[in-house]
Structure 1
Amino acid sequence: MKNIFIVLGIILGIAVFAAGSGLFKNTKSRELTKEKENQKIMDNKNVREIYFAGGCFWGTEHFFQQIRGVVGTEVGYANGNTQNPTYEEVVSHTTGFAETVKIKYDPEQVDLKLLIDLYFKTIDPTSLDQQGNDRGNQYRTGIYFANKEDEALVKNEVLKLSKNYSKPVVVETVVLKNFYKAEDYHQDYLDKNPGGYCHIEPGLFEMAKNANPLPKAKYQKQDKKALKEKLTAEQYNVTQENGTERPFQNEYWDETREGIYVDITTGEPLFISTDKFESGCGWPSFSKPITKKLIDEKMDKSAGMVRVEVRSKTGDAHLGHVFTDGPADKGGLRYCINSASLKFIPKAEMEKKGYGDYISLLDKK
């Protein structure tokens, strides 16, 4: 079946060339650029690799390209008994190679178990040497691992899968013996030929796109209507209307307990008690935020003064101002922050309320 589409592809390629060499040159240039970009990704030492044989590699590659965390793919021939095979040699059934997709993935974004689970959705694991309309030992199914550490996980996942079938599961789970890149026209085939042959049901591509969504941000900005219901009048005035509370008459100006100060609007950590000091100004004063990434600093020319305003980055809440009259031994800055923009979490409650990762900062004097 796939051979018919290869022939049609060649005929179409000739027609495109005849239509104009300029178009051909531009397409070739784009493909070379993409190939260089893909090679750069594939050579990235910070990612891991796994190899999936799942029938025709055109569809298998396109499927895995949809998954967040897969940073590179390459189709080729794996675990055969010759060197540098051509497609024609592989389909002759004399080389022992399987059409295989090399997957490069970032384990911090997607784990191997999820990739394996998704792969199972694209194959009939009980079908020997056949997937869809393609028949032959080059279309056998298999998961080939280059990293010995992956062996136990791979074998265990296939074992679990086999319990769901009355017939034997014939997915190979062996170490990668060899892998040779397939011809260029096979790479990214369905990107270049959107209507091309594929044994994988089209709806599975959409499923793959949604299978590993970005995790929801732990701290999120809320709309003003929700904040008006949640906050006190003073907290709303300070955080949303750039108000200023009265000195010496606010909740935390003389707070001395160990703990963490978080954004009242989002709960995001902003300041730690270790960096709090008595400035005499009547508001909570800190030498620095936990990290500069948590705040925005903006020029403020209101009230007839020129100051630097401090806002929370995620919540975009007004916090206060930063001045250069802080303790020299702590960096010389004074973050003068409204108590109404903060919520204090004592050390004893930090673990229970989800701030356990920040407790170690309290030990850094």
Structure 2
Amino acid sequence: MKPETITLAGGCFWCLEAVYEHVDGVLGVESGYSNGHAERPSYEQVCRGDTGHAEVVRVRFDAARITLREVLEIFFAIHDPTTRDRQGHDIGPQYRSGIYWHDAAHEAVAREVWAEANAAHGGRVVTELEPERNYWRAEDYHQHYFANHPQQGYCAAVVAPKVEKFRRTFRSRWRG
């Protein structure tokens, strides 16, 4: 088995990471920054909007247990792909929606699932589709943030409801 990887931006990386860490078939999730212009960006630079990077998660998965299509269906269900540079109260280009692929086969699946989501949302999906470029791993304190800080204010108010929505909506994929 060779793990596959897709990089996803859907607002704050803590939310996406917290969900994908519970998805059956996902082998690992890493928070980072992608598709900007600066080399080795810091969290502070990305938050200021200085780098052009999006907050992302790299999702490593076992394609024999979960398909890329399923990974992307979860992605479109756990964030709002119709708001440009925003998820809830998080506003700025670092919170944009994006799918960043690592190979041509993933590009084809991403475009297909994007088109289906766009149709389902009345043509309003703003999720960008691009190859991953200029990725940089987020600082250690961002890794497994929700698992390590479930009572922190943002986690309790924003992340926990997304995890619960995933658990209810995708019961067969939940790995608790």
**Alignment TM-score > 0.5, same fold:** yes
Q: How far apart are 1:213 and its partner, in Å? A: 6.6
Deviation string 1:112-165 (CA, Å, 9 cap, x unpaired) is 111100111111111000002100000000111012211111011111111122
User: Which ranges in structure 2 are unaligned for 5 or more consecutive residues?
Assistant: none
Q: Does 1:168 align with 2:124?
A: yes
Q: How far apart are 1:48 and its partner, in Å? A: 0.5
1:187 — aligned with what?
143
Deviation string 1:212-267 (CA, Å, 9 cap, x unpaired) is 279xxxxxxxxxxxxxxxxxxxxxxxxxxxxxxxxxxxxxxxxxxxxxxxxxxxxx
2:93 — aligned with what?
137
The CA distance in 1 between the partners of 2:56 and 2:11, in whole Å, is 8
Q: How far apart are 1:166 and its partner, in Å? A: 3.1
The CA distance in 2 between the partners of 1:192 and 1:205, in whole Å, is 19
Match for 1:61: what amino acid? Answer: E
Match for 2:150: what amino acid? Answer: P
Q: How far apart are 1:209 and its partner, in Å? A: 6.4
CA contact (8 A) 1:57 1:99 kept: yes
Distance of aligned partners of 1:108 and 1:167 in 2 relative to their CA distance in 1, 3 Å threshold: closer
Q: State which of 110, 114, 123 in structure 1 corresponds to 2:79.
A: 123
TM superposition score normalised by structure 1 = 0.45
Superposed, 1:213-224 pairs within 5 Å as none
1:151 — aligned with what?
107
Distance of aligned partners of 1:101 and 1:208 in 2 relative to their CA distance in 1, 3 Å threshold: farther
Q: Does 1:91 align with 2:52?
A: no
Distance of aligned partners of 1:213 and 1:191 in 2 relative to their CA distance in 1, 3 Å threshold: closer
CA contact (8 A) 1:66 1:209 kept: no
The CA distance in 2 between the partners of 1:130 and 1:142, in whole Å, is 12
Q: State which of 210, 214, 217 in structure 1 corresponds to 2:171.
A: 210
Match for 1:153: what amino acid? Answer: V
CA contact (8 A) 2:25 2:61 kept: yes
Match for 2:49: what amino acid? Answer: H
> Percent identical across equivalent pairs?
35
Q: Does 1:81 align with 2:37?
A: yes
Superposed, 1:3-42 pairs within 5 Å as none
The CA distance in 2 between the partners of 1:77 and 1:48, in whole Å, is 19
Deviation string 1:307-350 (CA, Å, 9 cap, x unpaired) is xxxxxxxxxxxxxxxxxxxxxxxxxxxxxxxxxxxxxxxxxxxx
Backbone CA RMSD of aligned residues: 1.8
1:47 — aligned with what?
3
The CA distance in 1 between the partners of 2:84 and 2:138, in whole Å, is 23
Distance of aligned partners of 1:212 and 1:194 in 2 relative to their CA distance in 1, 3 Å threshold: same
3-state SS, counterpart of residue 163 of structure 1:
helix
Larger RCO (CA under 8 A, 6+ residues apart): 2
The CA distance in 1 between the partners of 2:2 and 2:120, in whole Å, is 35
Deviation string 1:174-205 (CA, Å, 9 cap, x unpaired) is 11112100011100000100123143524224
TM superposition score normalised by structure 2 = 0.90
Match for 1:124: what amino acid? Answer: D
User: Which ranges in structure 1 are unaligned for 5 or more consecutive residues?
Assistant: 1-44, 215-365
2:17 — aligned with what?
61
Deviation string 1:43-90 (CA, Å, 9 cap, x unpaired) is xx7201001101000011010111100001100000010100000111
CA contact (8 A) 2:22 2:174 kept: no
Distance of aligned partners of 1:79 and 1:213 in 2 relative to their CA distance in 1, 3 Å threshold: closer
Structure number with greater Rg is: 1
Deviation string 1:242-301 (CA, Å, 9 cap, x unpaired) is xxxxxxxxxxxxxxxxxxxxxxxxxxxxxxxxxxxxxxxxxxxxxxxxxxxxxxxxxxxx
